[in-house]
Structure 1
Amino acid sequence: MTEKPIRTPKTTAKPVIGWREWVSLPQLGIERIKAKVDTGARTSALHAWAIEPYECDNELWVRFQLHPIQRNNRTVVSCTARVIDRRAVRNTGGKQEMRYVITTGVTLGNVSWPIEVTLTNRDKMGFRLLLGRTAVKNRFLINAGRSYLSGRKSAG
């Protein structure tokens, strides 16, 4: 018996991405950062430390530092962002922690859009950025067996 191919609507074809990709966060001054695409995580998470909340024009903001390059603590980027929420999030170990949530633009390949990101110390994690399922939902198809389908890090 021959299996029939799965038919999908021929509307707009979604780009295919791998389980890890290079992205940029231009509003935070991050030209390239390696991201793990994790559909098991609802919210995206960005490595941040020295997180300091402050008020500006009656709104809550945060200053924070991050190391955008894996296994490199010499490169430091200082960032500021408006806080949109504080949420209880379960970390990889299953422990609940309160995190600041910010919105920032992300670019993956030729696609740019805003995402919500929680700020947390990911020093012990392999990736400085985790792209959760709400960030990629309805934008991409994910090939879990491939990496860097949107392009490799440029030399230099």
Structure 2
Amino acid sequence: MLHPPSPHSLLPIIGWREWVALPELGITGIKAKIDTGARSSAIHAFDVETFQSQGQSMVRFKVHPLQRDSVYVVTAEVPLLDERVVRDSGGHSQLRAVIETPVDLDGQLWPIELTLTNRDVMGFRMLLGRQAIRHRFLVDSGRSYLQSSKRLHGPKV
């Protein structure tokens, strides 16, 4: 017996890793691990500094968007959304700055919350967690770059 298609079958499928852009941060391409085990999304950030500007909490930080490249640096300054205690995969808790910024995955643009943390020793400079992809994509854990291969292969540096 045939069943009508579920709403989930209409969602685009992404791989376990994809190239994304963060246009408001000036990041034209960063390889992101799609991590359904992580609630929140995170990006490798260093020299993180919070400050006040015209009565608004702000955060300034630097990013090395390319893995194994510490020369190419993007500096961003955006409103601080929150500071939260986040537990990493090793069970360690850390207070992190949280921002909201649009993410672009193959032309789809939507806002996500992003925590700022040092991911220098991790395999990916960015994690796209389940809150960011919820109700937008299905994940094929055995494939890579299903959406980003068409358009984006990292920044032109």
TM-score (norm 1): 0.92
Q: 1:111 aligns with which of 94, 102, 108?
A: 108
The AA in structure 2 aligned to 1:141 is: L
Q: CA RMSD in A?
A: 1.9
Q: Is the aligned partner of 1:81 residue 2:57? A: no
Taking structure 1 as reference, are residues 6 and 72 closer, same or farther at Cα in structure 2, changes over 3 Å only?
farther
State the TM-score, normalized to the length of structure 2: 0.91
Percent identity of paired positions between Structure 1 and Structure 2: 49
How far 1:84 moved relative to its partner?
0.8
In the TM superposition, 1:6-155 aligns within 5 A as 7-9=4-6, 13-152=10-149, 153=153
How far the C-alpha of 1:110 sits from its partner, in A, is: 2.3
- CA shift, 1:151, in A, is 2.9
* Bigger-Rg structure (1/2): 1
Give the aligned residue type for 1:126. Answer: G
Distance 1:134 1:11, change over 3 A: closer
Unaligned segments of structure 1, at least 5 residues = none
Give 1:84's aligned amino acid.
L
State the 1:92 CA deviation: 2.2
The aligned amino acid for 2:126 is: L
- How much has 1:13 moved relative to structure 2? 1.7
Contact conserved, 2:27 with 2:155, CA < 8 A, in 1? no
Q: SS of 2:90's equivalent?
A: coil
2-side partners of 1:69 and 1:29: how far apart? 13
